[in-house]
Amino acid sequence: MAGFRPQNGKTNGGKPLEPNALDPRREKVGEFYDEVWTRYVQDREAAERHMADVFPPDLISGRTALDSGCGGGAFSRSLARFGARFVVGLDISIGSIRMARRINAADRLEYIVGDMEAMPFEDGTFEVIWAWGSVEHTPHPWRAIAELDRVLAPGGRMLLALYKRTLLSPVHGAVRAVLSSLPRRLHAPLSWAGAAVLSPVIRMFKRREKMRSGEELAGVAHDWFFVPLRHHFDPAEVRRRFAKMGYEEELFVPATGRFDSSSHFILRVRKCSDGGKERGHHAGTGAAGS
């Protein structure tokens, strides 16, 4: 697994960290997920079925893979089980990485604590990148995407699941700003209470089956209402930017949840074999999330 180690305390392919990469919001997100991923355990079988639906094993087998923002590691384990040559699960949350090492260990799978905005890998290290619901929690999502682009080999594939921006996103954001400022010890009990209230409403309005089942509603409520930082994206803009960066779109799933306003969209893209150079692409760091 050469090329995975931070070089002389530096990251980002050996380049020094930019000063504004040391954003305190990043640590807050890490602490939040320390709690979430030690409290709620994901359904590994459901995660695996879900991965097979959107990233078939034959596109993973024999390739080097990164699970960026791996949480408790359910998807990292599936990447290994689908035959990846080796897998790295990376997360900013130390608690998540500890949990992942404990419950989702596998051969050819290594978990590391790291920041998706400045990763300790050489350019083009991975042929497969899975970033489910993680980019949206970084302080600068397009910087994270630029990093994913940097560490993806030409011809490699990347899957992103990102929250969709809707008219309700600012409302959710305002509720979240209030709730996430409450003392930490209240978050879990309030999530359980919220889940009890929300469950009949969700049943009533159920319009689409979730592609990924098995998460407890309380865990979803906790993640949804208390996370300190979350961006929402306009799918059309993300698709346009990836095309400009020299990516070919292979799969677009417009919504995964029951409600548009709380739904991920999925984008699986393939990097041009010349890395998109002919189009002079650059992911840049401009903010597209909200």
Ligand X SMILES: C[S@@+](CC[C@H](N)C(=O)[O-])C[C@H]1O[C@@H](n2cnc3c(N)ncnc32)[C@H](O)[C@@H]1O
Binding region for ligand X (CB under 6 A): 26, 29-30, 33, 37, 42, 69-71, 74-75, 90-93, 96, 115-117, 132-134, 137-138, 223
The total number of residues written for the chain in this structure: 290
* 220 alpha carbon, distance to own chain's centre: 15
CB of 13 to ligand X, least distance (A): 16
Angle between helices 217-226 and 184-205 in degrees, nearest 10: 120
CB of 277 to ligand X, least distance (A): 27
The answer to whether the beta carbons of residues 71 and 100 sit under 8 Å apart is yes
* 52 alpha carbon, distance to own chain's centre: 17
d(CA 63, CA 120): 19
Q: For ligand X, give the closer residue by CB, 246 or 262.
A: 262
CB of 184 to ligand X, least distance (A): 16
Closest by Cα among 102, 120, 119, 101 to 111: 101
Q: How many CB atoms lie within 10 A of CB 187?
A: 21
Q: For ligand X, give the closer residue by CB, 48 or 91.
A: 91
Q: For ligand X, give the closer residue by CB, 134 or 263.
A: 134
CB of 164 to ligand X, least distance (A): 15
Q: For ligand X, give the closer residue by CB, 120 or 156.
A: 120
Q: For ligand X, give the closer residue by CB, 152 or 246.
A: 152
The answer to whether the beta carbons of residues 127 and 65 sit under 8 Å apart is yes
CB of 211 to ligand X, least distance (A): 12
Q: For ligand X, give the closer residue by CB, 27 or 244.
A: 27
Neighbouring-strand partners of residue 50: none
Q: For ligand X, give the closer residue by CB, 75 or 121.
A: 75
Please list, in sequence order, all residues whose beta carbon lies within 8 angstroms of the beta carbon of residue 225, skipping any fewer than 6 positions away: 175, 176, 179, 180, 190, 191, 194
CB of 56 to ligand X, least distance (A): 18
CB of 133 to ligand X, least distance (A): 4
**How would you class 85 by CB atoms within 10 Å of its CB: exposed for 0-12, middle for 13-18, buried for 19 or more?**
middle
